[in-house]
Chains A and B, each alone.
Chain A
Amino acid sequence: MITDFSKPGPPSTDKRWRLVDATMRRLGNQSRGLIETLHTVQETFGYLDEGALRYVAVSLRVPLSRAYGVATFYHFFTLKPAGEHTCVVCMGTACYIKGAPQLLSAVERDLEIKPGETTPDGKVSLLTARCLGSCGLAPAVVYDHDVAGKVAPADLRQQLKKWTRHDS
């Protein structure tokens, strides 16, 4: 058994790594803290890149394969940076029967991207959600961090135009 273990230094001098370190410390630098740590990384940096996964894996003494496995198993984690704006279309049952597929195809057609992709200019990322729990307001869309309810394709198009035209 290897008892001699020293925690590696963070991948860069970025001060935000201290937040990640704090989460790992709070959970006793144990493998059970893997998911919580990845949450912190994603919250801090926006996504999980290879360097971050390697650092977290070594720090918590789990194989890189397990860290990668967890990061790709859960939908919430993303390995790619998001665009400047994000548009999340809720695909929950209530939204689905109230027209979410039409909303989604409107975005797909306007921006020529599929869910999970970002426009080539890095402006807008399109995502889908399993259910936002805003079923009373179906169909719902999240623009950046604001939930909008009872969205019609025209509303959505207008918001997208705002994002893609100006630097708002």
Chain B
Amino acid sequence: MTPEELEQIAEDERASQGEFPHRVNVCVAAGCISCQSLSVKEAVDKEIASRGWQKKCQSKGVGCMGLCAEGPLVSTGTGTLYQHVTPADAGEILDGLDTHPPDRLICRTDVPFFQRQKKIVLENSGVVDPERIEEYVGASGYGALMRVLTDMTPSEVVQEVTKSGLRGRGGAGYPTGLKWSTVAKAVGKQKYVICNADEGDPGAFMDRSVLESDPHRVLEGMLIAAYAVGASEGYIYVRAEYPLAIKRLRTAIRQAERIGLLGASICGTRFSFHVDLRLGAGAFVCGEETALIASVEGKRGAPRPRPPYPAQAGLFGEPTLINNVETYANIAPIIRNGGEWYAQIGTEKSKGTKVFALAGRVLNTGLVEVPMGITLREIVFEMGGGIPGGRRFKAVQTGGPSGGCLPAEYLDMPVDYESLAKAGSIMGSGGMIVMDETSCMVDVAKYFMDFCMTESCGKCVPCRVGTFQMNELLARITARTASTQDVTMLEELCDLLRNTSLCGLGQSAPNPVLSTLRYFADEYTAHIQEKRCPAGVCGAESKES
């Protein structure tokens, strides 16, 4: 594969796409598939065949279009978006291509949910067919890789990424350029690049969506990273719970190998890169990098103390670069448009965009990509459309079990790594769960503590014993049998876990408790002193029929 050959593939693809006057795209990401979008696709194909429109209208399955709540979603070449499409609507949609689109199915795209987004990571989602490499190449895919291999030295690549100000999208926000340069400088026989696709935070589905909608983008990011740090082998550690993402990744790897974009001497250079999948097996702790490495090595996912960091001694004891799916997905656009371009987006310390999975008690649930620095209010109320059923907003939860719950006072806070941390939450991987007055914050804190307790690997005592004890205390509060002393003890345990746990899981496990104690102390008081649950959640399950 040479740059010219790649360009040829891109041109052929664009030409063959251009032959069709019309196009119908059906979302075939997991969200819409569970609303039967595959039968919609089938119906569209059948309708095209029965009309003899094979040369007039192209139909294809594409990735996530974002507004999962209104699925199955279908779009046309002219940009009309349809929602809640059923197989019976296929004829009407095709009729509407030449004339007037059927009004009853239209999903408006001139609303903030779509207009406020800035798509970098998701630029191809909902546009290209994730199962065809040609489409990705046709959308300038692998162009950045070619440029890197032919025009840039590894250190120039690292510099470009450093210039972009990109920070790790897995949650902690470590500067990506710095991580790359550490691995590049490390000495080892064999270096590895790992993609962390073990999206374990409940309530987060950005990575799943990127892998299902645009898997080649992640591979290209990994290839560029491998070239920059001098690695020749890579692994994608993906959750076994995401069968569709696994299938599409396998297809993508096979296709890239077939046309020589993965394998030995890529693009006629001395650069070689092999990538393989490793399936996670349902352990939240494996999102922690040293635990993930243990799991790739076929062991139990128990973390180990750092240093040495994986950059020095990671997989099989060799220097290893680990980044999250979304981080890799940002790399190709950064190389294509330059680090400075990327650095213009976002805030001073948090550059670029972030993909959020908006879910919970909000009207428009789905996936949004927004520039850093946007306020929570804009995301929840303007893009998300606010709270359904005329109920009141109570909190927004970011960062999953490691994050916190932010109350209405923080709605005007800009979303960036520092502001979220200062408010007692974290950016996390991008899950954003909106809660209204029907949620009890003590119950939510208990939910997360129960999660951390179950997911604690058991290696270090503070986490193993501490999460259990905290869960017991919270259970007592929700059962309304706790005393004020229990809260004091809860606070002490928070402090203990935070400062003495071995890894991020234990260190951040107190966050949901601390943030709810800080902002919703009145709910704790009501449970303890007045023996009642203001939201009517605690103790209600047994009564529910």
Contacts and interface: CB of A to CB of B under 8 A. Distances in A.
Contacts of A66: 299
B103 interface: no
Interface stretch (B93-101, B158-166, B169-177, B360-368): B360-368
B429 to A, nearest CB: 11
A46 B33 CA distance: 24
Given A70-B300, A93-B431, A138-B359, A75 B205 contact: no
Given A74-B281, A132-B241, A97 B34 contact: no
Given A75-B281, A75-B282, A76-B282, A97 B361 contact: yes
B282 A93 contact: no
A130 B202 contact: yes
A77 B202 contact: no
Categorize the interface residue count of chain B. Answer: 35 or more
Interface in B192-226: 199-205, 208-209
Contact of A138 (B281, B360, B435): B360
B205 A133 contact: yes
A7 B492 CA distance: 54
Contact of B365 (A91, A96, A105, A136): A136
Contact of B544 (A93, A102, A135): A102
B141 interface: no
Given A76-B240, A93-B433, A93-B447, A134 B205 contact: yes
A132 to B, nearest CB: 7
Interface of A: 30-36, 38-39, 66, 69-70, 73-77, 91-94, 96-98, 101-102, 105, 129-138, 140, 146-149
23 contacts: A31-B298, A35-B281, A36-B298, A70-B298, A73-B283, A74-B281, A76-B241, A91-B202, A92-B202, A92-B203, A93-B203, A93-B359, A94-B365, A96-B202, A105-B541, A131-B200, A131-B201, A131-B203, A134-B68, A135-B357, A135-B431, A137-B68, A147-B30
Interface of B: 30-31, 33-35, 68-69, 71, 199-205, 208-209, 240-242, 278-284, 295-301, 357, 359-361, 365-367, 397, 400, 431, 433, 435, 438-439, 444, 447-448, 451, 455, 457, 541-542, 544
Given A73-B300, A133-B204, 6 more contacts: A73-B283, A75-B283, A131-B241, A135-B205, A135-B357, A137-B69
